[in-house]
Homo-oligomer: A and B are copies of this chain.
């Protein structure tokens, strides 16, 4: 059988690429895409079995582009559903060309330029203030691109801030690890599949994951998460509260609610509601049935095993 195809937002060595490798292993065919929309469209068109996309970051919150694709206002991704999640710890490293700074003499004073994504400067402020005060900073479109730049620019002493994964991908020296200010910065990824795909139904994501983790014990999660989206009628005050009450009535715990513009009418919203339960899947179907009676365009966007290990 052909290897499973998995799409993610590129370039190679991006955080999404790392999440794809850690989730699906290297026996799958991992396909970088130019946009989140391309990654999801591949699942809708069944050119790929799975897509893996960032959903939220523990510090910065929702990834709005992903929310908007899941909201799917034009119905372009009707068959795409969430079938799993993966938590990726975000760590930054200081990377340089191999051999430029031997381990015995880690003096960074000759570094004249640093590359990274604009968000990463803010995440490593303390380290940068301590070691790189006044050094030129060049913004690039991704931390992975920063690693690539350092590999290719051989005319000057420069360094990148990027992941260990990117450093290994480009064969760079990892000068320093975990240089971020805040510990526990984590991005949650969602794994998407096509609800009509026979291959992903027969060979579910949980079993793919089991084989890619090569015999490591699986986290046995007791709870399931469910994502639903709906709009409420503007002429019916109280409907949003009524809709949310349905989850409570069926014993599901609301864990988060995201609001996006409907883009049909100004100040009309689509709500994305994530909820959790330790009951079986039948409950979700009952909830969706009841939601459809009070809301508009209600969609069950998937139910999957909770992977968050409580502290």
Contacts A59-B263, A244-B244, A245-B248 known; 14 new A-B pairs at CB < 8 A: A56-B261, A58-B261, A58-B267, A61-B64, A61-B260, A61-B261, A62-B259, A186-B266, A238-B254, A240-B254, A241-B248, A257-B257, A257-B259, A258-B258
A213 interface residue, CB < 8 Å from B?
no
* Contact partner, A256, options B188, B255, B269, Cβ 8 Å: B269
Closest residue of B by beta carbon distance from A258:
B259
Contact residues on A (Cβ < 8 Å of other chain), bracket? 35 or more
Encoded as 1 (CB less than 8 Å from any B CB) or 0, chain A from 232 to 269 comes to 00000110111011011000011111111101011101
15 A-B contacts (beta carbon < 8 Å): A57-B261, A58-B267, A61-B64, A61-B260, A61-B261, A62-B259, A240-B244, A240-B254, A241-B247, A241-B254, A242-B248, A244-B244, A245-B248, A258-B258, A258-B259
Q: How many copies does the complex hold?
A: 2
- Asked if B58 and A259 sit within 8 Å, CB to CB, the answer is no
Instruction: For the complex, give the distance between the alpha carbons of A255 and B248 in Å.
Output: 19
A45 interface residue, CB < 8 Å from B?
no
Q: Measuring CB to CB, which residues of chain A are less than 8 angstroms from any residue of chain B?
A: 56-62, 64, 184, 186, 188, 237-238, 240-242, 244-245, 247-248, 253-261, 263, 265-267, 269, 271, 276, 308, 311
Closest residue of B by beta carbon distance from A277:
B237
Q: Using Cβ atoms and an 8 Å threshold, which residues of chain B touch A242?
A: 248
